[in-house]
Amino acid sequence: MNYKYTSLALLWMSLIIYTSSIPAHSFPGSGSLSEQIISNLGHIPEFALLTFLWLKAFIRKENKGKSRMAVTLILIGLIIFAISDEIHQSFIPGRFASFMDIGLDLLGIFSGLGVLRIFGMFSIFQKKEEI
């Protein structure tokens, strides 16, 4: 486990929870359509970065056999976090849980994973060479 990335991932999750805890009336002008669109689209990079941080925290090139299981567990954990964050948000005055937000979180999770896979940052995503 890489403690630097684990600390960053936990810090980023704390920031996500903190921003979800802010009542809707605390955002000045939060009713405009453009601000709502920007806020909603912010879920994608927010969860893509979180995915990157958790993968960097747990995936090691030398542990290739265990890496696929780690990726699966990380993805399951992130999906549970996204759903629980929306449920938490539903208890905040003026805020509500949204399936669209969960969908955008999932898009962020899988786009973060996809970017890492495309750039081959983890050996488990690299194709096996055939002899």
State pLDDT tens for residues 42-96: 899 999 999 999 998 988 766 666 678 888 999 999 999 999 999 999 999 988 8
pLDDT at residue 122 in the model: 58
Mean pLDDT of the region 117-125: 65
Q: For residues 92 and 34, give the distance between their C-alpha atoms in angstroms, rounded to a whole number.
A: 22
pLDDT at residue 68 in the model: 82
Q: What six digits make up the tokens of 50?
A: 């979180």
Mean pLDDT of the region 124-128: 53
List the chain domain ranges: 34-122
Q: What six digits make up the tokens of 123?
A: 């050996």
pLDDT at residue 44 in the model: 94
pLDDT at residue 15 in the model: 96
How far CA 96 is from CA of 7, 50, 109, 120, in Å, comes to: 29, 22, 21, 38
- List, for residues 1-58, the tens digit of each pLDDT value: 889 999 999 999 999 999 999 887 766 555 676 777 777 888 999 999 999 999 989 8
Say if residue 131's pLDDT is above 50. no
